[in-house]
Amino acid sequence: MYYNRFLDRADQYLDSEIELAQIFSDATPLDSEDVAIALEDIAGRRQRAQSPISISELASSIESLLEDELILDTGIEVCLESLMRTGLSEQEARAQLLGELGVPFAQKNLASLIGTRLEWGSRIREHIDPPADKLPRGFGPMLDDDQPRYELRRILGTGAQGTVYEARDRVFEEKGYASLIAIKIIHMGASSERGRLEAVRARQLRHRHITRVFDMGCTSDQLLYITQELVEGVSLDTWIREHTGPLDELDAIRLVHKIAEAMEHAHAHGIVHRDLKPGNILIDRDREPMITDFGVAHANYSGMGARDPDGTPGSLAFMAPEQAKVRSSEGLPLLDVYAIAGLLFWLLTDRYPNGDNAKQAQAWLDEPTSGGPGRIELRYSRRLRAVIARGLDPDTDRRYQSVSAMRRDLSCLIEKRPIDWLDTTPAHALALATRRHPVLASAVLLGVVLLFAGGWFWSEQRNQGRLEQLRLQVEHERERVEFVQDRAAMIQTMVKAWLGAETAPGDPSQATTNLLFMHTTTSLGLLEDDPEFASDLFARQSDSAERYLGSLDPSKTSPIELALWHELIGVWKMQSDPVGAADHFRDATVLVRKSAPRDELWIDRLELRIALAGGGAGDTLRTTGAVRP
């Protein structure tokens, strides 16, 4: 379990009152990494409180610790940074620190050590980090024409381990076309073994998202350098700062997917980066990521411990909980899995996965819990949150067991395909398929709608045909009945009654449409989602017809007309009121038996309707009292 007691002590003081001697009173060389981390954090807090750390305070407070190169370099860097923030250049800041060492020190050996370090730094900076007005300049082995092979053109970046230049390679250039590469010159005093390992490891990798290492060498004055592919771009953190906010969800996933793809290639070659962070990822002019700096990478097959000889543990903000304590190669690929998930978290939220400051990171690494110090906002999809949570899970058994597994799930997010362990229901698969193929889904939906509309239109035409047949039969029956004097008058009366229906007053065409619509809704179930509305609509139409029938004088109205009205109303009430429909069919049967007893076809049809409405032929005969011949 990771715990930095020096950071914990510093949190007990106000920023301006933090004294190095009190914080590091019991520190030993074995605590060098924790001391360096705490020293950087304290320097930042003191600087913000307008109480920067001076070189004399450093020398008097942690004298015994400064024999460690990591602590010494960290201390010098924080003092230089404090002076440079006042407006001094780096050379001026180094000169001022050397001037302060001119005052007699009680620790003469220490003063000599710091002075040597500062003088070396000034000389080396002047040698390999010349001012811009002194570039370009020759560098590297001499060619046959007594000219150095490389020409340093401009500084691309600098750090604790070295400086990277854009350079021209005179050996491989063609006439009229300069061969441009990047040269990383390892600072004198930095681990030459580490620089050599970086070149050896990175040179094994050939991937479009990993900067390619070409060669390495050493100059006559013992400067180690590495030549590598030139990437025209900026670091990921710089690139993100140029945006107004976090990346779009899909853009962030695609970017991290490419990083995961590159690390999958590295892991396949036995190389674990162990320090993936925004500063080690370049974004080129095509907005493509390029992974650099394999200086803390670990070869699984090398038998080395998880830490390099210089003890670099990786960046605290993206460090897996087990990285601070691991001492073997077991589980090393999972460190990169955690960092990749952390990069996605950072791109989406603009927050670090282990906390926004050193204190939060320390607390998180000390007591890691599921979800981390900050959870991704709910505004992102459930599937994306699940993938990030699995990648950042502090329990290595629950975390993705390989970069390949995480990359596959990132591909599923991009391509809207199901994730096998997450999208386990057919509904999830269907929803993702619809999102993955919106045009096809729209076409299928349109086809279903057209099929349904075609079926409805065909049914409508069939119903209209049946209604037309019924009307012809009614007209035929009226012609056959001798006492029907005026067929047109009867039809006019029926039409007037229809037009009086409250669903379509004064509009015969609309009344016909209403009838067809009501018949279709009851026969095909087009309003099955609202049966109450369909039933009410049909009942209102039937009620209007029944009121009209009740207004007719039986002594002045043809029995055949009355029978037709009873049959029509019965047809309308078949769905909503089968009992009432059967009653109307029985009344029509009685009237037909009395007025047209020879019309067996009509009588048979009415008896069939009674049976369909719930009654039987026997019931009909008993009701009417008639006996069939």
> What pLDDT score was predicted for residue 584?
92
pLDDT confidence tier of residue 3, bands split at 50, 70 and 90? low
Distance between CA 604 and CA 142 in Å, rounded?
Answer: 117
Question: For residues 299 and 279, is the Cβ–Cβ distance under 8 A?
Answer: no
Domain membership of residue 299 (yes or no) is yes
Whether the pLDDT of residue 245 is over 50: the answer is yes
Kindly state whether residue 154 falls inside one of the protein's structural domains. Answer: yes
Lowest mean pLDDT among 260-269, 304-313, 446-455: 304-313
Amino acid found at 453:
A
- Residue 285 maps to a domain: yes
Strand partners, 139: 150
Please count the CA atoms within 13 angstroms of the CA of 457 that sit on its side-chain side: 6
Q: Is 218 helix (H, G, I), strand (E, B) or coil?
A: strand
pLDDT above 90 for 481? no
> In terms of domains, do 188 and 216 share one?
yes
Tell me whether residue 401 is in a domain: yes
pLDDT of 576:
78
Between these two residues, 251 and 491, which has the higher pLDDT value?
A: 251
Averaged pLDDT, 38-61: 86
Asked if 214 and 227 count as a contact pair (C-beta separation under 8 A), the reply is: yes
The pLDDT of residue 611 is: 92
Q: Is residue 187 part of a domain?
A: yes
Asked whether residue 294 falls in the same domain as residue 329, the answer is yes
CA dist., res. 540 & res. 296, Å (int): 84
Higher pLDDT, 113 or 324: 324
Q: Where would I find the H helices in 227-332? A: 236-241, 249-268
Out of 228, 246, 272, a domain closes at 228
Kindly report, residue by residue over 432-444, the tens digit of the pLDDT. Answer: 556 655 666 566 6
The pLDDT value recorded for residue 250 is 92
- Domain check: are 469 and 320 in the same one? no
Tell me the pLDDT of the chain averaged across its residues: 74
- Whether 4 contacts 360, CB under 8 Å: no
CATH number at residue 173: 3.30.200.20
When divided into structural domains, the chain yields a total of 4
Specify the pLDDT at position 293.
80
Residues 138 and 68 in one domain: no
What pLDDT is attached to residue 157? 75
Min mean pLDDT across 175-179, 291-295, 446-450, 553-557 is at 446-450
Residues 377, 495, single domain; the answer is no
pLDDT band at residue 446 using 50, 70 and 90 as cut-offs = low
- Tell me what the mean pLDDT of segment 467-488 comes to: 64
Is the pLDDT at 149 greater than 80? The verdict is: yes
Query: Does 375 share its domain with 416?
Result: yes
Q: Tens digits of per-residue pLDDT, 152-200?
A: 988 887 665 678 889 999 888 877 677 899 998 876 544 455 556 656 7
Asked if pLDDT for residue 126 goes beyond 50, the answer is: no
Q: 549 with 558: CB under 8 angstroms?
A: no
User: Residue 263: pLDDT above 80?
Assistant: yes
Are 108 and 147 members of one domain? Answer: no
The per-residue pLDDT for range 500-524, each reduced to its tens digit, is 444 444 444 444 445 545 555 444 4
pLDDT at residue 496 above 80?
no
Residue 404 lies in a domain: yes
CA angle (309, 310, 313) in 5-degree steps: 100
Give the pLDDT score at 311.
Answer: 36
Condensed to tens digits (0 to 9), the pLDDT of residues 381-400 reads: 888 989 999 999 988 889 99
Residue 226 backbone dihedrals phi, psi, to 5 degrees: -130, 130
Report residue 290 as tokens. 């390029």
Domain residues for 211?
A: 132-228
Residue indicated by tokens 């001037």: 99
Q: Are residues 100 and 158 in the same domain?
A: no
Domain final position from 61, 96, 128:
128
3 state DSSP class of 148: strand
pLDDT surpasses 70 at 113:
no
Residues 460 and 542 in one domain: yes
Query: Parallel, antiparallel, or unpaired: how do β-strands 289-291 and 137-142 relate?
Result: unpaired
Its pTM stands at 0.52
Residue 336: the pLDDT is 93
Q: Do the beta carbons of residue 64 and residue 30 sit within 8 Å?
A: no
Q: Looking at the predicted structure, is the pLDDT value of residue 300 above 60? A: no
Phi, then psi, of 334 in degrees rounded to 5: -70, -20
Residue 255 has a pLDDT of 96
Q: Are 194 and 340 members of one domain? A: no
Q: pLDDT grade, residue 328 (50/70/90)?
A: very low
How many of the other CB atoms lie within 10 Å of CB of 428? 15
Q: For the domain that residue 275 is a member of, what is the CATH number? A: 1.10.510.10
- By percentage, how much of the chain surpasses pLDDT 90? 17
What the block records as the tokens of 10 is 């510093």
- Banded model confidence at residue 548, pLDDT cuts 50, 70, 90: confident
595: pLDDT strictly greater than 60:
yes
Residue 308: which pLDDT band, with cuts at 50, 70 and 90? very low
Shared domain for 56 and 185, answered yes or no, is no
Q: CA-CA distances (angstroms) from residue 595 to 271, 512, 553, 585, 599?
A: 103, 29, 17, 15, 9
Is residue 372 within 8 A of residue 354, CB to CB? The reply is yes
Q: CA 221 to CA 402: how far, in whole Å?
A: 43
In a domain, 605, yes or no: yes
Is 199 found in the same domain as 53?
no
Among 128, 153, 177, which residue terminates a domain?
A: 128
Cis-peptide, bond into residue 426, ω within 30° of zero: no
* Domain-embedded: residue 629: no
